[in-house]
């Protein structure tokens, strides 16, 4: 292994067949739920003009400052691999005049996103998000519906003991005063802050609240709270969100230090945290972004959305001992016993596949014993052994691989027994 010439780049992974049932389970659950909440699929490019994310996600964010994969293409344009979906979806909303559709426009997507992060458990450079956005509605009822969808999704996966954290960080009207209050609080403490926080203090003081360095974390405990600085509209909105969440029956915990790492957020922000883990490891997060579409050149348009990291969900499913539902199709191995039946295998496997089962066989020319070993290795539930004599009479040896019991039956009979299970 050590002397392999090529390995996958750091922070990326191969999703091997044995993990695919987890991916299918998560995606099917997420899509099924998004659809019944009225979301439709959209797909956006894996790369866009870098400027879209710089504008959208925000110049001062870690994502833009440190984590974006930026490259100049052969035409000299500065492009970036998508570090998230929201900016791309809002661009698509504008580009395709979606404001003419019934509002809110509800869109979901899923796929790989890229951040040059420091790889560790649950933190990768290529990872996958399931993401949805609801654009064009200000009502706090929508915030609650978006949060309800996130909550029901984890619930449907069977995950237990998760926490939904909620906060409001205000908007362009009330946030400047809050930022100033934070600076005023932290300035006398600046010598005790980590070097990142020293940098952030003037540029992006909200981010000091979620720094996980022990001293910064301790200092943030007594820092001013955004909810105490909300303007009337934001305060009313936040009260509305909480009222509606009550009606949906979604339990939540207010977290005054929840600020999120992307600049486009206004008002409502939320995260879903797994049990037993540091706040760095949110399973998912989202919030309102009422200024983003205008920032991207559109008319003022509110929006709210959510994204969840699929790798982190798989880690948590494994942690909680939850297995995805098993493979549904039976595997049927067709074995030959001589030259004539070896050639006839093609036809029999074809019948097996046409019946909707997984049809497999050995290539080459192998002994029956070696074929049955292969059948075991492939997880076959049944083998159809083509004895030369029986096959001429249109019959096969039907073997139940679990018990080893065998019976000579017609091919039709074998297939209908498999169908009955």
Contact 40, 107 (CB under 8 A): yes
Minimal distance in Å, beta carbon 63 to ligand HAM?
A: 7
Between residues 303 and 324, which has the closer beta carbon with respect to ligand HAM? 303
Closer by beta carbon to ligand HAM, 85 or else 391: 85
The helix (run of H) or strand (run of E) holding residue 396 is strand 395-400
Nearer to ligand HAM, 165 or 174 (CB): 165
Shortest Å distance, C-beta 421 to ligand HAM: 38
Tokens describing residue 236: 């009313």
Reading the block at residue 390, the tokens are: 């029986």
Which residue's structure tokens are 């926490």?
A: 163
Task: Tell me the closest approach of the beta carbon of residue 81 to ligand HAM, in angstroms.
Answer: 13
In a 3-state reduction of DSSP, which class is residue 101?
Answer: coil
Q: How far is the CB of 75 from ligand HAM (least distance, A)?
A: 28
Angle of the 140-157 helix axis to the 310-319 helix axis, nearest 10: 50
CB of 148 to ligand HAM, least distance (A): 15
Quick count: other Cβ atoms within 10 Å of Cβ 189? Answer: 15
The rounded distance, in Å, linking the Cα atoms of 381 and 367 is: 20
Q: Got the DSSP string for 70-95?
A: EEE-TTS-EEEE-S-SHHHHHHHHHH
Q: Which residues bind ligand HAM (CB under 6 A)?
A: 84-86, 115, 117, 122-124, 127, 129, 131, 133, 261-262, 282-287, 305-309, 311-312
Nearer to ligand HAM, 286 or 387 (CB): 286
List the alpha helices (DSSP H) in 221-338: 232-248, 292-295, 310-319
Smallest gap, in angstroms, from Cβ of residue 182 to ligand HAM? 21
By beta-carbon proximity to ligand HAM, the closer residue of 58 and 286 is: 286
C-alpha of 54 from chain center: 23
State which residue, 57 or 245, has the beta carbon closest to ligand HAM.
Answer: 57
């Amino acid at each position: 292994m050590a002397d392999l010439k090529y390995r996958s780049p750091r922070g990326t992974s191969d999703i091997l067949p044995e993990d695919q049932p987890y991916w299918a389970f998560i995606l099917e659950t997420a899509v099924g739920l998004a659809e019944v909440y009225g979301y439709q699929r959209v797909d956006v490019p894996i790369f866009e003009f870098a400027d879209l994310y710089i504008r959208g996600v925000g110049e001062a964010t870690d994502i833009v400052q440190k984590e974006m994969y930026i490259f100049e293409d052969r035409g000299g344009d500065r492009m970036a691999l998508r570090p998230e979906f929201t900016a791309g979806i809002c661009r698509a909303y504008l580009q395709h005049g979606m404001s003419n559709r019934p509002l809110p426009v509800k869109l979901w997507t899923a796929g790989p996103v890229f951040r040059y992060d420091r790889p560790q458990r649950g933190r990768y450079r290529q990872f996958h998000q399931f993401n949805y956005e609801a654009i064009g509605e200000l009502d706090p009822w929508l915030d609650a519906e978006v949060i309800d969808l996130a909550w029901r999704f984890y619930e449907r996966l069977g995950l237990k003991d998760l926490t939904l954290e909620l906060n409001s960080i205000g908007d362009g009207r009330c946030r400047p005063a809050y930022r100033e209050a934070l600076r005023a609080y932290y300035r006398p403490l600046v010598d005790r802050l980590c070097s990142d926080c020293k940098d952030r203090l003037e540029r992006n003081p909200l981010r000091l609240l979620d720094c996980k360095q022990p001293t910064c974390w301790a200092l943030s405990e007594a820092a001013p709270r955004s909810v105490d600085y909300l303007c009337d509209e934001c305060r009313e909105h936040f009260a509305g969100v909480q009222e509606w969440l009550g009606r949906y029956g979604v339990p939540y915990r207010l977290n005054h230090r929840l600020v999120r790492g992307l600049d486009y957020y206004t008002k409502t922000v939320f995260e879903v945290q797994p049990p037993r883990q540091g706040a760095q490891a949110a399973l998912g997060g989202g919030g309102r972004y009422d200024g983003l579409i205008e920032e991207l050149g559109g008319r003022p348009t509110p929006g709210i959305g959510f994204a969840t990291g699929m790798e982190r969900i798989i880690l948590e499913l494994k942690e909680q001992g939850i297995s995805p539902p098993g493979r549904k199709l039976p595997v049927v191995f067709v074995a030959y016993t001589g030259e004539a039946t070896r050639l006839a295998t093609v036809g029999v496997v074809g019948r097996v596949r046409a019946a909707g089962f997984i049809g497999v066989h050995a290539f080459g020319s192998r002994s029956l014993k070696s074929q049955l070993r292969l059948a075991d290795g492939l997880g076959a539930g049944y083998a159809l052994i083509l004895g030369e004599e029986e096959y001429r009479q249109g019959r096969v040896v039907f073997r139940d691989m679990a018990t080893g019991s065998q019976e000579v039956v017609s091919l039709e009979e074998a297939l209908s027994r498999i169908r009955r299970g």
